Chain A
């Protein structure tokens, strides 16, 4: 699967984040290579990839922490290395690791970050109390940061990132180490932020969180494999949507499987568009499961083939992700071998 530039904007949308062939090299190693994408305003962009795939480096390139080796990036219309003081006030950044002061209390840390962004003393107090309530740390505000758990530190970091109410948020694995209930609460809040016009760039290792995003970019080995909607991601992983069929009889290649190849909605260009998955089971890849299911049921009826069940299979994002990354890495290996 070749790395491709993904343009997810609609024609009228303003672009908050733009990357074109963005590259970062440390010595001989590419941490990020030729990454290109556009993220429209008011969208949640999920950046998913295995550990070490270049997600954090990409965030650092987009926030101006690292200068790029090659390529360009524009965030809110400005190259990150040229961010003005005013523009920085519009951006919130949550680093991957806890980067606050262990010898300060929860409240003092939060207060410090709010001051960094020039929030005045009067309005700051109310805002910080609300945030502490949101991250469920209001009762722990007098505790030293060093004496709270890793999950609480993560929550404190998120609260600090949101303190100045930024319009563009870079969140590097915000839900790492957070329990599922609070993780859900975080995503609900991200959705609320999105509803109020904020743009969110979120990296995560929890593939399931892709479902919360408007667009998902999959990174591996420093390259952006694809950018898609969560639904599109499934299609891209398997070449289409999946339909699972359970026959009453044992599956026969000649009677059951070969005839299915005749349908236009079956993705015949794929090597395993129709395949046997068990003694009585088969799976076919179609371009649109919603349209394919009635046609298939009618055909089975016409052919007097008894089926116990037929339904669209929605694979979990973990499987989708593994499928995409495996394919991408195999292609990269092949390309490298050809080069060598």
Chain B
């Protein structure tokens, strides 16, 4: 028999041995695969991606104008604020907070008006919470900022609405001016000079009032235009130029019925003024049409994604596949040589013709095959979304169909997917082997495997984005196979794109590196037994 076939036979001895041994340990498989899978599944089902609702009591100083207004403001501020009443008793509210009966105490400023009007400072709403979780404390701070911004907006809106109410009086004033002008024109046509002059005086009062009232509103709108880069030819400029035109015509009109003026010309000018007032009314109506909310909050956002839409559970699915496969491969790898040493079989290998490379190749092949089968089953469960009709049974449990699988989208190429899974298993088994060759006992091996799993949960970008970590901590991330595989599988499965060649090559390179280290360590251990 040739050397090559002997090599194949020797390596295959470990392949079949590992497979048989794994299959004889169903509990171990259940613990390693099913256990973490069920935990992650329960997390996926039970996790609510919603901001928590805060039970809030407002403390308002006695006699404050807010005392009557607070409920109106607070009760509909947003879904995350559960209004639990207002009180003047700060100590009582804080006691409730400490007992955990409420989540937040919001203390309104004592004399907000004086602070703002005379001291020129912002009045402070103080928020008390009872959180020990730094993330939750940050949320309360963020929550406070959002809701105080909302209160500020509401106050601005009230001011703006008052401005708009003023603009309503402008349009009434313009209508009144137009009516007086028309009455003046009729009186001139009848030759009733006295009546014409009465109407002219009334018209001039209306016009003066109209100019005064309009200036404030126009200035507000001019500021909006200047800030947002609006077109000056529009509403405010139309109103301003309309008023100027009316003023010019009014000067041209002279005194109604004066013998120095041509009566027909005065009638014609009055007609022109009426037309200009009608145009002014229309321009003022444009100003009124702008919603106060739009003026106060001129912008809002709408988000659209160029990536395919995914549910939260689906987003985590590739990461779950990666974590489970890495943990499985690392644990089996970590236990393998420790067990050989404990059983004393390494002594047999030293005397036998098998080489360290043959041992590794045989064991790798066994674990890669097993890992591949587990990967196929996991992926089938994740990707499948088959609706099983339940017919009669469905009425008992209140549904017509049972969905088998999580329905995770698989937008990419299965070949790429398989390449990533292979590289992940290759690197993870190698990492496990290295662990196995540096530890002394199986409990140490399991502990190291758990450390790898824990590191992966925190540092591989499964739950926390890598950008949130300091650069030197990210070095830990990039030393874990899971970091590469999570990004690669998310790209393939969720984005439907080809994986990054650089990431895939690095993951595979990591596997080669682990293999070489394992080969050197095993070679040393198989060469002779340390004293």
Interface string of B18-36 (1 = CB under 8 A from A): 0011001100000000000
Name the segment of A113-121, A183-191, A234-242 touching the other chain. Answer: A113-121
Q: Knowing A118-B353, A121-B9 are in contact, say whether A99-B347 is a contact too (CB < 8 A).
A: yes
B5: which A residues are within 8 A, CB to CB? 118, 120
Counting CB contacts under 8 A, is A150 at the interface? no
Question: In the complex, what's the smallest C-beta–C-beta distance from B528 to chain A, in angstroms?
Answer: 5
* Count of chain A residues with a beta carbon within 8 Å of a chain B beta carbon: 37
B17: which A residues are within 8 A, CB to CB? 101, 104, 108, 112
Counting CB contacts under 8 A, is B6 at the interface? yes
A98: which B residues are within 8 A, CB to CB? 344
B24: which A residues are within 8 A, CB to CB? 103-104, 144
Question: In the complex, what's the smallest C-beta–C-beta distance from A24 to chain B, in angstroms?
Answer: 9
Which of B1, B25, B352 interacts with A103 by CB under 8 Å?
A: B25
Those of B331-352 within 8 Å (CB) of chain A: 343-345, 347-352
Which of B350, B353, B529 counts the most chain A CB atoms within 10 A?
B353
C-alpha gap A275/B424 in the complex (Å): 82
Q: Is B529 in contact with A60, judged by CB distance below 8 angstroms?
A: yes
Counting CB contacts under 8 A, is B355 at the interface? yes
Interface string of A73-96 (1 = CB under 8 A from B): 000000001000110110101010
Interface string of A232-264 (1 = CB under 8 A from B): 000000000000000000000000000000000
Q: Is A116 in contact with B12, judged by CB distance below 8 angstroms?
A: no
Question: In the complex, what's the smallest C-beta–C-beta distance from B25 to chain A, in angstroms?
Answer: 7
Q: Is A85 in contact with B353, judged by CB distance below 8 angstroms?
A: yes
C-alpha gap A85/B3 in the complex (Å): 10
C-alpha gap A116/B10 in the complex (Å): 5
Q: Is A116 in contact with B347, judged by CB distance below 8 angstroms?
A: no
Q: Is A101 in contact with B25, judged by CB distance below 8 angstroms?
A: no
B353: which A residues are within 8 A, CB to CB? 85-86, 88-89, 116-118
C-alpha gap A93/B7 in the complex (Å): 20
C-alpha gap A326/B17 in the complex (Å): 48
Q: Which residue of A lies closest to B352 (CB)?
A: A116
Name the segment of A8-16, A63-71, A196-204, A304-312 touching the other chain. Answer: A63-71
Which of B1, B527, B531 interacts with A118 by CB under 8 Å?
A: B1
C-alpha gap A85/B527 in the complex (Å): 12
A108: which B residues are within 8 A, CB to CB? 16-17, 20
Counting CB contacts under 8 A, is A273 at the interface? no
Question: In the complex, what's the smallest C-beta–C-beta distance from B357 to chain A, in angstroms?
Answer: 11
Those of A138-192 within 8 Å (CB) of chain B: 144, 170
Q: Can you spell out 24 A-B residue pairs with CB atoms less than 8 angstroms apart?
A: A64-B350, A64-B351, A65-B528, A65-B529, A88-B352, A91-B351, A93-B352, A99-B343, A99-B344, A99-B345, A99-B348, A103-B24, A104-B17, A112-B16, A115-B12, A116-B10, A116-B353, A116-B354, A118-B5, A118-B6, A118-B9, A118-B10, A118-B353, A121-B9
Given A100-B345, A113-B348, A117-B353, 13 additional A-B pairs, CB 8 A: A26-B531, A63-B350, A65-B350, A81-B527, A85-B355, A86-B353, A95-B344, A98-B344, A99-B344, A99-B345, A104-B21, A104-B24, A108-B20
Interface residues of B (CB under 8 A from A): 1, 5-7, 9-10, 12-13, 16-17, 20-21, 24-25, 343-345, 347-355, 527-529, 531
List 8 tightest A-B contacts by C-beta distance, closest first: A115-B13, A118-B6, A99-B344, A88-B353, A93-B351, A85-B353, A103-B24, A116-B352
